[in-house]
Amino acid sequence: MQYHKPVLLKESIELLSLKQGSIFVDATLGGGGHTEAILRNTQVKHIYAIDQDSDALSYAAERLKPYSEKITYIKANFEELRTQLALRKVKGIDGILFDLGVSSHQLDEGARGFSFEKDATLDMRMNQQSPITVKELLNTLSVEVMTKIFRDFGEEQAAYKIAQWIDKERQSKKIETTQDLSNIIEKNMRSNPVLVIKTKARIFQALRIYLNRELEVLQVGLDDALNIMNPHGRIVVISYHSLEDRIVKTTFAKAAKGCICPMTIPVCMCNQKARIKLISKKAIKPSDEEQKTNSRSRSAKLRAVEKY
């Protein structure tokens, strides 16, 4: 098992600005690359490392053995952030990192069914204990629901057509593998190979996001992070597509805004105060050098805020 180099590693650590004695949460542990760098470069008191993927937790625990006394591993989705920390009597934190989306390992591990480039059962569960896989979805959802999934989570213009193709195919046989789904798109598009690949990527992304409720749990996780962050604590988020980044940007912009009274009212009546300040008004992108050496970083955007 191997995990690739973490994206925007140097920038993440610098922006978290963790002081000696800090309590930190890695909300998306993965292979533990960000956490390892934080333990090497800062004097944190303790790290709560969260991931819903059993493989990731096992790998990271082995990798981070030298720091085991400073780490508490939590098998959960970060939508359970407040609950899991409360169970451990943690009332406030000084920093949190969200490195969103599917990990390189999950894409490379063919049997997980995340990639259209590797033939496997259509699984795509980030939590292997979840009862439903993409295979069940594609063989049971209506054309209307599939269309909405492809349009909302894949921003696919041909969403309705693709849903119809899938529905026609499943009338004669079950759709069970990544190759089955890829073949449906290929044989019906008969288009430029580059466009076919991009369509596959959008459809696989849409199904993964829907199955794992990625956008829904992101909103919950961000809201919880804002609520439990100590004064001067920082939130750093790395996203990989526009749907994620839009939620992060909107949530931070709202929390950074003060009075929302209409301009016609001379005195503030809402009493709303800004909760955070934006560390950078624009998203931070990987350097050209990182994009050359780490292909996963090409679409990455980092946003960071500090709690007042």
Alpha helices by DSSP H, 42-113: 54-63, 81-87, 104-108
- Enumerate the β-bridge partners of residue 23: 46
**What pLDDT sits at residue 235?**
98
CATH topology classification for 9-99+214-307: Rossmann fold (3.40.50)
Structure token pair of residue 142: 């209506």
pLDDT in tens, 230-252: 999 999 999 999 999 999 999 99
Total-model pTM: 0.93
Q: Mean pLDDT of all residues in the chain?
A: 94
257: three-class secondary structure by DSSP: coil
What's the rounded mean pLDDT across residues 184-206? 93
pLDDT value at residue 110: 65
Q: How confident is the model at residue 4 (pLDDT cuts 50, 70, 90)?
A: confident
The string of pLDDT tens digits covering residues 278-299 is: 998 899 999 999 999 988 899 9
pLDDT, position 5: 83
Predicted confidence at residue 270, as pLDDT, reads 87
β partners of residue 253: none
What fold characterizes domain 113-212? DNA polymerase; domain 1 (1.10.150)
Give the strands of the sheet with 93-99, arranged side by side: 71-75, 46-51, 23-26, 93-99, 229-239, 301-307, 276-278
| In the chain, where the domains are located | 9-99+214-307, 113-212
Backbone φ and ψ for 183, nearest 5 degrees, come out as: -65, -40
Q: Output the six-digit token pair for 76.
A: 């959960």
CA separation for the pair 286, 277 (Å, rounded)? 22
Q: Say yes or no to pLDDT of 1 above 70.
A: no
